[in-house]
């Protein structure tokens, strides 16, 4: 039987829209092609007439959107002859780097803030065989060290300052436009290092270009001009970025010294794509806003309990922020809204279990009466 229709990942799917040749060997785990789930219950619960979709990036092979960028970064690193990659991470980039390095048969070095990454992510980089360097510092320290050490050791940086990362991540917008047949009115997402919001914008700007040619039509941020190059802005969403209050450099107007939040994935005080992301929000007439840890956790629980979509805390910032802005009328009724939910809830079981103290969990004998009574008293 032919398997010509088998999905084989982003590089193959969007080869003509990415900086690869026809013969570039893709290092892939069949990432991308994630579900765009329409929320049924939450719009009703908040009593607003809106169409909300979540792009469930937690269903990527390592459980986060990072796989989109990592397939490109590692594909190019291998094409260019690199034997080792390195990144600083709050846990998801390191998981993805480790997995794609394993797939490629090269080495991965990952710097993570000791004690500040979720357990599942830790398990991933260990299982995939990365060299895990736990630093006594935060993500921003790790990022600085990675940039410095790259001059002194033969390693390719695969953080989002590697331009191939954003090229891979922009494909999320292609998939959304494909699925909806148009761009949404609003796109809401969590912001940490600020690469992803930048990549979304590049993707939306390119998505609706017919006869797209990478050489001619690719969109990039020109730092000197503080502008995105590219074509006419048609059919793009208003971009809304949400941060955790304790790690909100975009709300404070610059770097934050000691970022702190339960959403460890976005515990970042000095985003590498700060200016890019500011330009995205400016050009799309969007905004940044912040959520407290309590608001983030409430949104995480709500999405799980009312829609069956379990995401990690950072990811829930998008839906929590969107709901608040819909209720306030800042996002108008009648709008089509997409929220990127960036990582799988299973990554961080500790935080999930801690906030479920009121969940119904009974300890009973293995005995019919007790099982029956437990059911009948909890119907």
Which residue ranges make up the annotated binding site for pyridoxal 5'-phosphate? 92, 192-196, 342
Token pair belonging to 370:
């007790």
- 196 scored as a contact of ligand F0G (CB under 6 A): yes
First to last CA, the chain: 49
Token pair belonging to 181:
């047949």
When binding is defined by CB under 6 A, the residue of 61, 91, 246, 321 that contacts ligand F0G is 91
Nearer to ligand F0G, 45 or 150 (CB): 150
Which residue do the tokens 């379990």 mark? 310
- 205 scored as a contact of ligand F0G (CB under 6 A): no
* 228 close to 219: Cβ distance less than 8 angstroms: yes
* 337 close to 328: Cβ distance less than 8 angstroms: no
- 89 scored as a contact of ligand F0G (CB under 6 A): yes
* 159 close to 148: Cβ distance less than 8 angstroms: no
- 256 scored as a contact of ligand F0G (CB under 6 A): no
Report in angstroms how near the CB of residue 179 gets to ligand F0G at its nearest: 21
According to DSSP, the β-strands at 156-157 and 186-190 are: unpaired
Report in angstroms how near the CB of residue 264 gets to ligand F0G at its nearest: 9
Strands (DSSP E) contained in the chain are 36-38, 51-56, 84-88, 107-113, 131-135, 156-157, 186-190, 221-222, 227-228, 238-244, 287-291, 336-341
- 62 scored as a contact of ligand F0G (CB under 6 A): no
Token pair belonging to 358:
């009121």
Nearer to ligand F0G, 91 or 321 (CB): 91
- Burial bucket for residue 84 (CB in 10 Å: 0-12, 13-18, 19+): middle
- 203 scored as a contact of ligand F0G (CB under 6 A): no
Cα dihedral 265, 268, 271, 276, rounded to 10, equals 50
Nearer to ligand F0G, 91 or 246 (CB): 91
Binding residue ranges: 92, 192-196, 342
When binding is defined by CB under 6 A, the residue of 190, 203, 230, 249 that contacts ligand F0G is 190
Nearer to ligand F0G, 11 or 111 (CB): 111
Nearer to ligand F0G, 106 or 143 (CB): 143
Report in angstroms how near the CB of residue 90 gets to ligand F0G at its nearest: 4
Binding mask 209-248 for ligand F0G (x = CB under 6 A): ----------------------------------------
- Burial bucket for residue 131 (CB in 10 Å: 0-12, 13-18, 19+): middle
Binding-site size, ligand F0G (CB under 6 A): 22
User: Nearest-CA neighbor of 139 among 293, 249, 58, 57?
Assistant: 249
- 50 scored as a contact of ligand F0G (CB under 6 A): no
- 193 scored as a contact of ligand F0G (CB under 6 A): yes
- 312 scored as a contact of ligand F0G (CB under 6 A): yes
Binding mask 100-139 for ligand F0G (x = CB under 6 A): ----------------------------------------
- 171 scored as a contact of ligand F0G (CB under 6 A): no
Nearer to ligand F0G, 55 or 66 (CB): 66
- 140 scored as a contact of ligand F0G (CB under 6 A): no
Backbone phi, psi, residue 268, to 5°: -135, 130
C-alpha radius of gyration, the chain, whole number: 21
When binding is defined by CB under 6 A, the residue of 82, 90, 167, 205 that contacts ligand F0G is 90
Q: Which helix (H) or strand (E) holds 305?
A: helix 293-307
Nearer to ligand F0G, 43 or 65 (CB): 65
Give the Cα separation of 192 and 106 in Å (integer). 28
Given the rule CB under 6 A, which of 46-54, 87-95, 100-108, 322-330 is the region that contacts ligand F0G?
A: 87-95
When binding is defined by CB under 6 A, the residue of 34, 75, 315, 335 that contacts ligand F0G is 315
- Burial bucket for residue 173 (CB in 10 Å: 0-12, 13-18, 19+): buried
- The footprint of ligand F0G (CB under 6 A) covers 64, 66, 89-93, 160, 190-196, 265-266, 312, 314-315, 342-343
């Amino acid at each position: 039987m032919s398997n010509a229709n088998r999905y084989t990942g982003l590089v193959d799917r969007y080869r003509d829209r990415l900086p690869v040749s026809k013969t570039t060997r893709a290092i892939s785990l069949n990432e991308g092609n994630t579900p765009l789930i329409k929320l049924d219950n939450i719009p009703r619960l908040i009593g607003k007439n809106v169409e909300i979709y979540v792009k469930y990036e937690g269903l990527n092979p390592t459980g986060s959107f990072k796989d989109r960028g990592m397939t490109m970064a590692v594909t190019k690193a291998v094409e260019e002859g690199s034997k080792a990659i390195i990144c600083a991470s709050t846990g998801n980039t390191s998981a993805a780097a480790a997995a794609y390095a394993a797939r490629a048969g090269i080495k991965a070095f990952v710097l993570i803030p000791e004690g500040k990454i979720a357990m599942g992510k830790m398990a991933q980089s260990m299982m995939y065989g990365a060299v895990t360097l736990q630093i006594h510092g935060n993500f921003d320290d790790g990022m600085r060290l990675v940039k410095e050490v790259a001059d002194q050791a033969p390693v390719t940086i695969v953080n989002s300052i590697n331009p191939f990362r954003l090229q891979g991540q922009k494909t999320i917008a292609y998939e959304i436009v494909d699925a909806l047949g148009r761009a949404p009115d609003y796109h809401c997402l969590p912001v940490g290092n600020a690469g992803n919001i930048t990549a979304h914008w590049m993707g939306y700007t390119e998505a609706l270009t017919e006869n797209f040619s990478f050489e001619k039509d690719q969109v990039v941020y020109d730092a000197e001009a503080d502008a995105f190059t590219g074509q006419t802005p048609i059919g793009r969403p208003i971009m809304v970025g949400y941060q955790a209050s304790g790690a909100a450099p975009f709300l404070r107007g610059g770097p934050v010294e000691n970022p702190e939040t339960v959403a460890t994935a976005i515990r970042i005080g000095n985003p590498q794509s700060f200016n890019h992301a500011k330009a995205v929000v400016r050009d799309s007439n969007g905004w940044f806003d912040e959520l407290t840890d309590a608001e983030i956790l409430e949104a995480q629980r709500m999405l799980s309990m009312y829609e069956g979509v379990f995401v990690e805390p950072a990811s829930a910032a998008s839906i929590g922020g969107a709901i608040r802005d819909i209720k306030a009328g800042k996002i108008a009724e009648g709008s089509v809204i997409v929220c990127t939910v960036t990582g799988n809830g299973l990554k961080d079981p500790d935080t999930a279990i801690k906030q479920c103290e009121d969940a119904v969990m009974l300890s009973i004998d293995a005995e019919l009466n007790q099982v029956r009574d437990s059911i009948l008293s909890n119907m």
